[in-house]
Amino acid sequence: MAETQANAISLIKAWFDKADKWQKDLFCQIWQGNEDVEKLTARAFSLAKAEYLGENSKFAPLTTFPTTVEFSSGSNCPIILKSISEVQGVGALSPTRPLEFGNNLTIVYGENGCGKSSYVRILKSAVSPKNANAILGNVYEANCPSPQAILTYSDDGEEHQIHWKPSLKSTCPLNIYDTSVAKQFAEEKNEVIYEPHILSILSIIAVVYEGIKTKFDELGSENLGQQTPLDKAISNHKLITDYYALKTIKSYDQFMADIIWDKSQQVQLSALQEGLQNQDPSKQLNALKAQRELVEKQYQALIDLITKTGDTFSDKYLSQRKTQIDTKQEADHLIEELKRVSIISKTGSDYWKKMWVAAVKFSQESTSKRSDSIIVDGKCILCQQDISEEANTRITEFYRYMTSTAIKQSEKAHSVFENTVDQLQTIFSSINIEQIESVLRASSVEDDIIRQIIEQYKIIKSRCKWLLEYTYDTKTSIPVSAEIKSLLDAKEKLLTDYSARIKALQDIIDNREKQINFVNDLLARKWINENKLVRKKHIQIQLGSSSCATNALTTVKRKLTQILITDTYISRFEDEMYSMDINHKIKVELIPKTEKGKAYHQVALRGAVQKKKTGEVLSEGEFRVVSLSAFLADLSSWDKVLPFIFDDPITSLDQKYEEMVAKRLVKLSHERQVIVFTHRLAFAQLLFSCNEAYNATHYNEEGHEALKVKQVELRHLPLGEPQEPSYHGAKQMKDALKSLKNNEIILLKKQFKNKEYESYNDGIKALCSKLRIIVEHGIETDLLQSIVTRFGYSVGSLKVRLLYNVKEDDIAVFEKMMTKYSAYEHSQSLERPVSLPELSDIEADIESLLAWCKDFWSRCSSNNPKK
């Protein structure tokens, strides 16, 4: 066995070592117990995109082979499900007590509608979260609480609790067999298929592979949808053919290294396309040459104008304007002062100035003083009269006026600025925008080029206008003309474009066919360049999709199947079939089958002449026997001895198969915990009887311990409330008596103390009835030691010798109790009704019967010491 497992691990590890990172992570995730296919697919796809497309992923891949990979835990300590408690929000369940289970065989009986299915749904959801969708609350309640419960189990003696909710991620260690699980062993039309738990990990991987491949295909379609349409004229071009043949990133990089596309090629392509569409290339060639010359001339004119009206000119212009304004203001101020002291309005005029100059000259010639003053010895040089103080002040102002340079500076500044204004006005007047635009349009220059040229002329003209109208009060900024470098660049670009178009036309005139082929080559390069990222991503997506191929998985599954289960499992399956079909009426066999990463053992008809599916031949009951055999045969593939939950396992079985299944479940309960949910009282009784028979058959075996069956009945009110079973044969008489003593007796005492006399009387009557039934059942279970039971399938002949233990006093005990308590089961005479006994009398009878049980079973044990 160790060698087999070592070989299996070696196979899995060999596959693991060659797997991609996302595949390794997927294996580790499933091995850790994560079996939610939807979430596994989402995680794996995210990691696959990170690996193949270079996208970021929020997940960190696990790439180390699990050190805990084992095919069994090596532990014989079973896991025991202890109870389900604190249930709420599941169907209409409203139990006040936990549903508790025994360590071996537990029978949970309930009529239809008592909550049995709701408990099973809790367990199924706890085993696999994907079953949580089947959980419904009480549809008749408006404010139903959220579904939840507490599952208590022990593992190697250590108790654990799972606070279950439908959203719980962790799983509970259980195995459940019900109708849906039975169908998992079948294809359509009930084709029975088996796959062990360990190999199912690779099956889950295969399912995830399919999901990821679908996602990659969807991503591929979305990616190709972004590809620009391909011109039919180049669809068969060699570059396009080679482009589509690229399958690897290496070949893609090598191919794209030779596919160069830049602006010059785009200009060349546009020129050739335009030229090929022209009906008269020679005429168009001459027109383009003329346009080129005109555009070059206009751009040169713009550059010259900007040079003349640029910042250097505007700075000079504004500086001269400022000097002109400032000197004029100073001269105007001087004149105003002159006018203020002058009596004559024409003072300061040209004639007045000439007169002043003549007077100064006369003064200089008439006196020995070289002075510009017209006052000599306090007298006017002209009129010879004394100069008054007022006249002296006036003459002083006249002198300051005539000797000041402000007037000359103002006149000079005005003259200089006037010349600059004349230059600017000449430039402004020379710009005839309408005429320029007309000339350009007459030469068929493109509208966009015309717009660019005219826009620059408008800026220059508005700049000139702003300067001509400038004053100190101007609030706006001077319009900014284009940089000469930008105009030079634009000019160079346009001339290059014209040159390319001219060359293209000349080449077309020289060899038209050659240029057509060249255009197709350029178109192919352009299209490839536009879609290069789409192609690269397509290659990456295809590589990612190819990694989802199941070939390697299928090979590993086939080899693992041969190693792990082919012989061993078939042997176990045949043993299980033999135990439940002792007459060998169901002729089936297991045939290995492997496909798409999934390895199966398919149940097929043995010895059939015609090829028919098992579902077409087997009845539903036979199919149930076959599927149950396959299910039980898989026990050794699970890591631990897990509890087995059976939900009505005998559907559609006749009494023979039903008894075989019951015996198999009883035998199984001696190996591990078995919990059976059933609505059939007869099957519950059958399980009880089979357990008694099993104990009786093996009581002489060394180390055998008689195992008891724990039986639970579910009440309708409150729904799902567990209680001691009321049906026949559920327990031995001493257990039933102890139940009365510990429950009903205590309750009745409490009612009497609280003066609830009506309830007390009803309880006394019910207690008498129950005691009478227990005594009657005790004849079967105790006195006759279940040798013959009602609804039983067999007679316990091996226990007949125990009848020697029955004495006449024993029979008298039962006769006495049956006589005493039968009276309360019948209708009473109105004249002479039988009074209810006192509670103390009933309690004494129960103690008496318990003492009898102890004595009787002591005698039986002394005669059969190994029992």
Distance, CA of 700 to CA of 370 (rounded, Å): 167
Residue 609 falls inside a structural domain: yes
Tell which wins on pLDDT, 365 or 856.
Answer: 856
pLDDT at 187: 43
pLDDT in tens, 294-307: 899 989 998 998 88
Distance, CA of 643 to CA of 84 (rounded, Å): 14
Number of Cα atoms under 13 Å in the Cβ half of residue 860: 18
Tell which wins on pLDDT, 3 or 825.
Answer: 3
* Mean pLDDT value of segment 738-756: 88
Say what percent of the chain tops pLDDT 70: 85
Cα distances from 314 to residues 109, 253, 460, 463, 480, in angstroms, run 108, 56, 12, 9, 11
pLDDT at 405: 80
pLDDT at 575: 80
pLDDT at 866: 47
Residue 47 falls inside a structural domain: yes
- Are 18 and 118 part of one and the same domain? no
H-state helical runs in 238-310: 238-244, 249-256, 263-277, 281-309
Reported confidence tier of residue 186, pLDDT bands at 50, 70, 90:
very low
Both tokens of 789, joined, read 């039971």
What is the pTM (predicted TM-score) of this model? 0.50
Region of 225 please: left (phi>0), alpha (psi -120 to 50) or beta.
Answer: alpha
Q: Are 193 and 185 in contact (CB under 8 A)?
A: yes
pLDDT at 493: 87
- Are 737 and 641 part of one and the same domain? no
pLDDT at 640: 63
Residue 744 falls inside a structural domain: yes
Residue 792 falls inside a structural domain: yes
Tell which wins on pLDDT, 689 or 737.
Answer: 737
- Are 480 and 605 part of one and the same domain? no
Burial class (CB in 10 A: 0-12, 13-18, 19+), 767: buried
Distance, CA of 606 to CA of 617 (rounded, Å): 12
Cα distances from 847 to residues 606, 742, 761, in angstroms, run 61, 12, 21
pLDDT in tens, 199-245: 778 888 999 999 999 999 999 999 999 999 988 888 888 898 998 99
DSSP structural state of residue 779: I
In the sheet that holds 598-605, the strands lie side by side as 193-194, 598-605, 588-595
pLDDT in tens, 826-838: 555 555 566 788 8
Say yes or no to pLDDT of 585 above 80: no
Reported confidence tier of residue 86, pLDDT bands at 50, 70, 90:
very high
- Are 436 and 300 part of one and the same domain? yes
Smallest CA-to-CA distance from 208 within 436, 424, 22, 421 is with 22
Residue 542 falls inside a structural domain: no
Say yes or no to pLDDT of 849 above 50: yes
pLDDT at 208: 93
843 contact partners, CB below 8 Å, separation of at least 6: 741, 745
Distance, CA of 642 to CA of 565 (rounded, Å): 20
pLDDT in tens, 257-291: 888 888 888 877 777 777 777 777 787 778 888 88
Which residue's structure tokens are 């398919």? 602
Residue 565 falls inside a structural domain: yes
Tell which wins on pLDDT, 471 or 455.
Answer: 455
Least confident of 75-79, 395-399, 406-410, 798-802: 75-79
Least confident of 188-202, 311-325, 557-571: 188-202
Q: Are 532 and 228 in contact (CB under 8 A)?
A: no
CA torsion, ordered 149, 153, 159, 162, to nearest 10 deg: -30
- Are 42 and 157 part of one and the same domain? no
262 contact partners, CB below 8 Å, separation of at least 6: none
Query: 696-704, long-range: CB within 8 Å, 24+ apart, which pairs?
Result: 696/796, 696/798, 696/799, 697/798, 699/864, 699/866, 699/867, 700/866
Both tokens of 122, joined, read 């809790």
- Are 358 and 435 part of one and the same domain? no
What are residue 623's DSSP bridge partners?
A: none
Sign of torsion over alpha carbons 804, 809, 810, 811: positive
pLDDT at 7: 82
pLDDT at 288: 80
Both tokens of 689, joined, read 């009887």
Domain boundary among 630, 657, 684: 657
Q: What DSSP letter does each residue of 82-137 carry, written as one string?
A: EEEEEEESSTT---SS-EE--SSEEEEE--TTSSHHHHHHHHHHHH-GGGGGG---
Least confident of 74-78, 122-126, 431-435: 74-78
Instruction: State how many domains the chain has.
Output: 5
What is the greatest pairwise CA distance in the chain? Answer: 190
Distance, CA of 502 to CA of 113 (rounded, Å): 94
* 806 phi and psi angles, rounded to 5 deg: -80, 130
Average per-residue pLDDT for the chain: 82
Distance, CA of 724 to CA of 773 (rounded, Å): 14
DSSP structural state of residue 142: T
What are residue 107's DSSP bridge partners?
A: 676, 711
Both tokens of 401, joined, read 């006026």
Q: Which helix (H) or strand (E) holds 603?
A: strand 598-605
- Are 41 and 132 part of one and the same domain? no
pLDDT at 389: 79
pLDDT at 74: 46
Least confident of 446-450, 536-540, 557-561, 639-643: 639-643
Q: What DSSP letter does each residue of 188-205 carry, written as one string?
A: GGG-BEE--HHHHHHHHH
Sign of torsion over alpha carbons 850, 851, 853, 857: positive
Reported confidence tier of residue 56, pLDDT bands at 50, 70, 90:
very high
Domain boundary among 387, 405, 423: 405
DSSP structural state of residue 744: I
Distance, CA of 720 to CA of 119 (rounded, Å): 8
Reported confidence tier of residue 794, pLDDT bands at 50, 70, 90:
low
Q: Are 363 and 381 in contact (CB under 8 A)?
A: yes
Number of Cα atoms under 13 Å in the Cβ half of residue 540: 17
Buried b (16+ CB within 10 A) or exposed e, 144-169: beebbbebbbbeeeeeeebebbbebe
Domain boundary among 39, 70, 101: 70
pLDDT at 605: 66
- Are 36 and 114 part of one and the same domain? no
pLDDT at 220: 92
Whether a cis peptide bond, with omega within 30° of 0, leads into 718 is: yes
DSSP structural state of residue 647: E
Residue 391 falls inside a structural domain: yes
Say what percent of the chain tops pLDDT 90: 19
Distance, CA of 334 to CA of 329 (rounded, Å): 9
Reported confidence tier of residue 75, pLDDT bands at 50, 70, 90:
low
pLDDT at 18: 92
DSSP structural state of residue 137: -
DSSP structural state of residue 386: B
- Are 344 and 298 part of one and the same domain? no
C-alpha 329, offset from chain centre: 82
Both tokens of 9, joined, read 């691990």
pLDDT at 653: 67
Tell which wins on pLDDT, 619 or 741.
Answer: 741
pLDDT at 221: 93
- Are 197 and 310 part of one and the same domain? no
Smallest CA-to-CA distance from 570 within 536, 601, 614 is with 601
Distance, CA of 615 to CA of 625 (rounded, Å): 13
pLDDT in tens, 100-118: 999 999 999 888 888 888 9
Write out 337-394 in H/E/C secondary structure.
HHHHHCCCCCCCCHHHHHHHHHHHHHHHHHCCCCCCCCEECCEECCCCCECCHHHHHH
Q: Tell me which residue range forms the domain holding 192.
A: 79-203+553-657
Q: Are 295 and 494 in contact (CB under 8 A)?
A: yes
What are residue 149's DSSP bridge partners?
A: 164
Q: Which helix (H) or strand (E) holds 502?
A: helix 484-510
* Mean pLDDT value of segment 647-674: 81
CA torsion, ordered 636, 117, 168, 147, to nearest 10 deg: -160
* Mean pLDDT value of segment 812-825: 83
Tell which wins on pLDDT, 220 or 736.
Answer: 220
Cα distances from 545 to residues 212, 225, 264, 376, in angstroms, run 8, 18, 39, 120
Residue 190 falls inside a structural domain: yes
Tell which wins on pLDDT, 332 or 83.
Answer: 83
- Are 43 and 168 part of one and the same domain? no
- Are 493 and 562 part of one and the same domain? no
* Mean pLDDT value of segment 827-856: 81
Least confident of 101-105, 332-336, 708-712: 332-336
Reported confidence tier of residue 793, pLDDT bands at 50, 70, 90:
low
Q: Are 149 and 155 in contact (CB under 8 A)?
A: no
**Where residue 602 sits, what CATH number does that domain have?**
3.40.50.300
pLDDT at 613: 66
Strands 105-109 and 709-714, bridge-based pairing: parallel
Reported confidence tier of residue 861, pLDDT bands at 50, 70, 90:
confident
